[in-house]
Amino acid sequence: MDKRDIEMLVRRRVQELGLDMNPGVKKEYIIAANWKMNMSEKETKRFLEEMKAVHIADNIKVMIFPPYPYLHLFKENLRYEKIAYGAQDVAKEEKGAYTGEVSASMLGDMGCSLTIVGHSERRTYYGDTPQIVAQKAKAALTYQITPVVCIGETLDERQQQRYKEVLKEQLDAVYNEIGTKVGDCIIAYEPVWAIGTGVIPTLEQIYETHKYIFDVLKAYGLAHENIKILYGGSVNAKNVKEIASVEHVNGFLIGGASLKAESFKNIIGLASEV
């Protein structure tokens, strides 16, 4: 057992005992909902209605990423400043003859302050290379839209112990495009093998990988306080608290468990208890 493992065990034990290692300082968490290609207009309206009554603790920031056609409902109905919203993707180009694409300035018009880029489903099914993902992040930042840059390895890459190399390549592509503005992005670590599968990495694996990502970002010259790394992949009400207690986990990107307001609100409440 090395120093890091011991630190993590101590942290967990301290939490089990209900002790606070940093009295007065509560860790902040981002709780983000990635709806993917789900929900209808009616369901979105109902969800927003149910969110009105939600209590959001001071250390929690909520984000929702609905499909493009429902963004206007967020613009019209969301009167809660603690809930930010954004798109699930953005064009790398600013404007022009790009049929089917939606630009960063259009997202701005819809009141979005955020966009996901590089989700593994985009990388796998729609050919978003590390380079394209980096260009999308750049396009978003040009319009003051915060990119949530998803990175993650496949099961094969994990089993072959190649995950660090893969994650570094995905991060380097973004750094090469935008330099230290990577600090204006939120990073979401989503192991592809954990997305929608119900399989979750061990807390040790999450700790080790988040620490690795943190170190890569630090080596780019980013300040500790500008580094935000979310975990994503089969997060639900049962596992959110223990994952939240892992160092360098600054929040969650949640798919399936974010589709029902009840379940999403439950997760928001649980994260605030950590």
Task: List residues with catalytic annotation.
Answer: 119, 190
Residue nearer to ligand PGA on the CB measure, 78 or 259? 259
Piece of the chain touching ligand PGA by CB under 6 A; list 20-28, 122-130, 159-167, 228-236: 228-236
Size of the site for ligand PGA (CB under 6 A): 13
Site for ligand PGA contains 153 (CB under 6 A): no
Cβ proximity to ligand PGA, 233 vs 251, nearer residue: 233
CB of 117 vs ligand PGA, minimal distance in Å: 12
Which C-beta is closer to ligand PGA: that of 105 or that of 239? 239
Considering beta carbons, is residue 39 or 77 the nearer one to ligand PGA? 39
Residues 24-63 that bind ligand PGA (CB under 6 A): 34
3-state secondary structure 14-28: HHHCCCCCCCCCCCC
CA atoms within 13 A on the CB side of 123: 20
Q: Candidates 17-25, 157-165, 210-218, 248-256: pick the segment binding ligand PGA (CB under 6 A).
A: 248-256
- Residue from 114, 171, 195, 217 touching ligand PGA (CB under 6 A): that is 195
The residues binding ligand PGA (CB under 6 A) are 34, 190, 195-196, 232-235, 253-257
